[in-house]
Amino acid sequence: MTASDPLTALALRAREGDTAAQAALVRGTQAEVWRFTAALVDPGAADDLTQETFLRAFRSLPGFEARAGIRTWLLGIARRTCADHLRAVVRRRRLDARLAAQVWTDNPHHPDPAYRLGAADLLGRLSDERRTAFVLTQVLGLSYAEAAEVEDVPVGTIRSRVARAREELVTAVAQAQAS
């Protein structure tokens, strides 16, 4: 197989045991994987999730055939790592959401505007599917086709998820500014 980009070429060399290529691959992709995991889960967990992504990737590297670029392959692993993490903490997150709703109900006239309009909060209001599509295309700059490969869905699905995410974000900002 031939690599279509330098990072994929590094991955193919890393797959063969080239330790310099392995280190260069991590250096070349780590920041993007971290930003993706931070956006999908939270920045506080991003270091651990990034590390877990690379552990999984290096265990799976012998099966990497370069049918897609390494970025797409790694971000797919990162998405699954984040999904696994979220499933593991779902009870805690539900409790946190209930507590936050209770605070809002107890004191609706004095909200914290910085919190209500924070990017993480706005992204957190989106469904997992819409947030992932939005982050992949609008934050990380992947094409719709690349995002569709990461998510393993048709390109049209990514387009509709991003469009709906934009609508929801615009509405959320307008509502926050109106209150």
Tell me the per-residue pLDDT of 89-116, one tens digit each, with 9 for 90 and over. 665 555 455 555 554 554 455 454 444 5
Highest-confidence segment of 74-83, 95-104, 166-175? 74-83
% of the chain residues with pLDDT over 70: 81
pLDDT at 3: 57
Buried b (16+ CB within 10 A) or exposed e, 117-132: eeeeebbeebeeebbb
pLDDT at 31: 96
Which residues, 6+ apart, have CB-to-CB distance to 10 below 8 Å? 21, 24, 25, 28, 70
pLDDT of residue 133 exceeding 60? yes
Which residues, 6+ apart, have CB-to-CB distance to 174 below 8 Å? none
Chain-wide mean pLDDT for the chain? 83
pLDDT band at 29 (very low <50, low <70, confident <90, very high): very high
pLDDT at 90: 66
pLDDT at 28: 96
Q: What is the mean pLDDT of residues 154-177?
A: 88
pLDDT at 1: 44
pLDDT of residue 47 exceeding 70? yes
pTM reported for the whole predicted model: 0.62
